[in-house]
Amino acid sequence: MELGISFKKIRRNKGYSQLYLVDSIISQGSYSKFEDGKSSIKANKFLELLNKIHMSPNEFIFISNGYKYTEEQQLVREFFNLPYNDVRSLKLVKDKIIHYLSFHDDVMFGQLLIVCDALIKLSSTNDIDSARKIVMPVWEKLSNQNSWYLVDIQILNVVLYLFSVDVAIEMTKYILKRLDMYKGHSEANSLHFTLRINLAYLLINDKNYKEALSILEYTLNNYRKKMPYQSLALCFSRKSLCLQKLGVDSSNKFLQKAQQLLDIYDDESMIKLINKEYEIYSSKEST
């Protein structure tokens, strides 16, 4: 659907006149041509008009696309919500990305395709060195950028655990500092706690339970009310694991909290995931 035609529908539904909408932004004649699909307008003027009707660009695109996400938006959402150890799901998304790239030249989706290959390699063979080699072109491209933006940070968050703990810790510190510039942004807020939960996992894998516990406690103290239930359950289960490894008798109560939380949502797959993770790491010898 033409953007101007969508704008006309929204304006009329809100009961706004053209004169009210264009005031001090654009001439009424130019706006009329835009609504009729006869001409375009500059991006800065378009954003000003959206602001005048109190609507975000994402909502406008969603409405203009028939109240659904575009193919690109849906594919991005699907990728970043993947269970990254599920080879079948990874291959399905990989096929969709390949199909998308056959019609579009898109650098970001090219990066996601490489990440898919790396994660499939890791999940299929447990060969982290080979997976790291596959993903290196993405890391080299991002590391050469002057700044990282939200989608870059989301990609880095996915591949973080492919690198050594020392590198991952330094990357996370830099990323969190960069995220401070996005204070108040909803997606950035979720990345704050997701990065810390993933970093705790890396530290647990490296048997650094004390530092992992410190990160998890900070995350719970600062983000508990903002986290979705699955992230909160992971925090509880990983805190329980750290406490168990540090010899704290009451450690099991946090695993029980995680299980109770997931029971409320009837999330059997997540219960299996945290129980499996707890079982694997609790049986490993501490250093």
Mind listing the pLDDT tens digit for each residue in 115-173? 999 999 998 998 989 999 999 999 999 988 888 999 999 999 999 888 888 888 888 88
State how far the Cα of 34 lies from the Cα of 3, in Å rounded to an integer. Answer: 8
> For residue 223, what is the enclosing H or E element?
helix 209-223
CATH class of this structure's domain 164-287? mainly alpha
Kindly state the tokens that stand for 221: 């103290």
The conformation of residue 162, written as its DSSP 8-state character, comes to G
Instruction: Name the nearest CA neighbour of 131 among 140, 139, 122, 123.
Output: 122
256 or 83, which is more confident: 256
For residue 285, the model assigns a pLDDT of 67
For residue 286, the model assigns a pLDDT of 55
Domain ranges within the chain, ordered by starting residue: 3-64, 70-139, 164-287
How crowded is residue 262: how many other Cβ atoms within 10 Å of its Cβ? 25
Are residues 156 and 175 in contact, defined by beta-carbon separation less than 8 angstroms?
Answer: yes
Mean pLDDT of the chain: 91
pLDDT level of residue 1 (50, 70, 90 thresholds): very low
For residue 152, the model assigns a pLDDT of 94
For residue 126, the model assigns a pLDDT of 84
Query: What burial letters (b/e) apply to 48-71, b meaning 16+ CB within 10 Å?
Result: bbbebeebeeeebebbbeeeeeee
**CATH classification number, 3-64, choose in 1.10.260.40, 3.30.365.10, 3.40.30.10, 2.40.50.140:** 1.10.260.40
Q: Three-class SS of residue 111? A: helix
Residue-wise pLDDT for 183-210, tens only, equals 878 778 889 899 999 889 889 988 999 9
What is the identity of the amino acid at 76?
V
Shared fold status for 3-64 and 164-287: no
For residue 184, the model assigns a pLDDT of 78
Q: Three-class SS of residue 283? A: coil
Q: What spatial distance separates the first Cα and last Cα of the chain, rounded to whole Å?
A: 61
